[in-house]
């Protein structure tokens, strides 16, 4: 048997040895990933049913990560120890018993020079003859069958099943999606709450209805909180409203609530709570009509009377025909536009005709 054949066999053996180590290390990595995915899936399932607090989820995810790293290191060390050159040769001999101990002997003495072989007390001709016989016997055999491909496939398949299972549940159910996010320490609630119209502006005495949509884990009622914002010491007033569940079987986890706000006379803020979630705080602004604080009239009689201008308070004005009147009207807050409407009235009934149209006169706003 030629030296080239022997060298080819050793190259074949080294390739199988390196491949087995790579596959075993890949298997260790897959088992670590499987441990991580399984731990996250269990944490998500536990949170889905129990709604775990953040501190507990943080401790659990830390334990899962530590466990996965421990599995990767442990299996990696075992892989390196298991697939040494002599151990690999022994594994090949167990799978192919017809080779006896030829593989281990050939691998062992291939690393020694002729002087080192003779120093071991073994004739070089015997080693050569054994190597030639090993090459001849091993050449037709599928020695790479010792590579643990099946174990790697099982570990990969299990990791894929767990990962795809979580992805599928998250894709088709938003609550499982929330559970998966919460397993990664997000704070997504299992209840969705929508309040319409949210912030609203009303005129004094107007009424409105708040429409609340609830989805997920909601219970049978929502809690409505409101308080006045025009008083610094105002306390929250609390009331409960029953949830009207959807009659659609496909939307069995959805419900609605209508909360009336009747004859609102003061500004307030409100919020709604359902399940474990509370809406943001919304505001109801109230528009009040302008109030007249004071009306002052200055009446200047006609020049021929020689009388001085008279000043009086109130909205009723009397004076001689041809008098000039200046009105000063004080409001409780600034106005953007103001006018006065004049409606002529008939003094003599016998000459009264159809009602005259009012005359609209703009007023000058100081400071506008």
Check which CATH number belongs to the domain holding 204 and give it: 2.60.40.10
Segments of the chain with pLDDT less than 50 = 1-2
What does the pLDDT read at residue 83?
79
Instruction: Please report whether residue 75 resides in a domain.
Output: yes
> What is the total count of domains within the chain?
3
Q: Do 110 and 133 sit in the same domain of this protein?
A: yes
Secondary structure of the chain: what % helix, strand, coil (to 5)?
45, 25, 30
Q: Do 296 and 283 sit in the same domain of this protein?
A: no
The single-letter DSSP state of residue 147 is S
* Separation CA 27–CA 31 (nearest Å): 6
Rg of the chain over all Cα atoms, to the nearest angstrom = 46
What does the pLDDT read at residue 364?
82
Q: Do 299 and 282 sit in the same domain of this protein?
A: no
Q: Tokens in use for 58?
A: 């943080």
Domain boundary among 128, 154, 183: 183
Instruction: Please report whether residue 124 resides in a domain.
Output: yes
What does the pLDDT read at residue 14?
76
Q: SS3 of 365, please?
A: coil
Mind listing the pLDDT tens digit for each residue in 158-195? Answer: 999 999 998 998 888 888 888 999 999 888 888 888 99
Q: Tokens in use for 137?
A: 């016997």
Q: Do 243 and 322 sit in the same domain of this protein?
A: no
Q: Do 77 and 177 sit in the same domain of this protein?
A: yes
Predicted TM-score (pTM) above 0.95: no
Q: Do 252 and 321 sit in the same domain of this protein?
A: no
* Separation CA 77–CA 115 (nearest Å): 35
Annotate 219-260 with DSSP letters as a single string: -SEEEEEEEESSSTTPPPEEEEEE-EE-S-GGGTTEEEEEEE
Instruction: Please report whether residue 24 resides in a domain.
Output: yes
Three state DSSP letters for 315-360: CCCCCCCCCEEEEEEEECCCCCCCEEEECCCCCCHHHCCCCCCCEE
Domain boundary among 287, 313, 340: 287
What does the pLDDT read at residue 366?
77
Q: Do 57 and 197 sit in the same domain of this protein?
A: no
Q: Do 30 and 162 sit in the same domain of this protein?
A: yes
Q: Do 226 and 308 sit in the same domain of this protein?
A: no
Domain boundary among 159, 183, 207: 183
Instruction: Please report whether residue 367 resides in a domain.
Output: no
Q: Do 172 and 33 sit in the same domain of this protein?
A: yes
Instruction: Please report whether residue 242 resides in a domain.
Output: yes
Instruction: Please report whether residue 368 resides in a domain.
Output: no
Q: Do 277 and 301 sit in the same domain of this protein?
A: no
Q: Do 334 and 283 sit in the same domain of this protein?
A: no
Distance of CA 163 to the CA centre of its chain: 20
Instruction: Please report whether residue 123 resides in a domain.
Output: yes
Q: Please give the residue range of the domain that contains residue 77.
A: 3-183
What does the pLDDT read at residue 50?
87
**E strands in the chain:** 191-196, 200-203, 208-216, 221-228, 237-242, 244-245, 254-261, 268-274, 277-278, 282-287, 292-300, 310-313, 324-331, 339-342, 359-362
């Amino acid at each position: 048997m030629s030296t080239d054949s022997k060298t080819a066999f050793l190259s074949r053996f080294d390739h199988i040895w390196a491949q087995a180590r790579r596959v075993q290390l890949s298997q260790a990595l897959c088992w670590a990933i499987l441990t991580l995915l399984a731990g996250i899936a269990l944490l998500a399932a536990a949170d889905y049913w129990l709604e775990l607090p953040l501190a507990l989820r943080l401790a659990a995810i830390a334990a899962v990560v530590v466990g996965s790293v421990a599995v990767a290191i442990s299996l990696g060390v075992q892989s390196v120890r298991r697939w040494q050159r002599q151990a690999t040769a022994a594994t090949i001999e167990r799978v192919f018993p017809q080779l006896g101990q030829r593989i281990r002997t050939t691998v062992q003495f291939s690393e020694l020079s002729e002087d080192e072989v003779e120093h071991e007390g073994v004739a070089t001709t015997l080693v050569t003859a054994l190597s030639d016989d090993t090459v001849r016997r091993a050449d037709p055999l599928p020695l790479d069958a010792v590579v643990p491909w099946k174990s790697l496939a099982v570990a990969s398949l299990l990791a894929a099943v767990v990962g795809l299972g979580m992805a599928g549940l998250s894709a088709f159910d938003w609550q499982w999606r929330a559970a998966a996010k919460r397993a990664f320490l997000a704070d997504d609630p299992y209840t969705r709450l929508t309040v319409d119209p949210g912030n609203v502006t009303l005129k004094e005495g107007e009424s409105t209805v708040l429409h609340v949509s609830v989805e997920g884990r909601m219970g049978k009622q929502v809690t409505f909180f409101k308080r006045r914002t025009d008083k610094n010491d105002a306390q929250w007033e609390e009331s409960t409203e029953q949830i009207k569940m959807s009659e659609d079987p496909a939307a069995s986890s959805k419900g609605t609530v209508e909360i009336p706000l009747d004859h609102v006379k003061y500004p307030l803020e409100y919020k709604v709570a359902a399940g474990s979630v509370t809406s943001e705080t919304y505001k109801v602004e109230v528009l009040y009509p302008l109030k007249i604080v004071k009306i002052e009239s200055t009446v200047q009689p006609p020049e021929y009377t020689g009388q001085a201008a008279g000043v009086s308070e109130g909205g009723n004005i009397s004076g001689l025909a041809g008098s000039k009147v200046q009105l000063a009207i004080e409001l409780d807050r600034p106005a953007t536009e103001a006018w006065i409407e004049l409606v002529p009235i008939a003094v003599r009934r016998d000459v009264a005709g159809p009602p005259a149209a009012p005359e609209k006169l703009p007023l000058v706003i100081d400071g506008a």
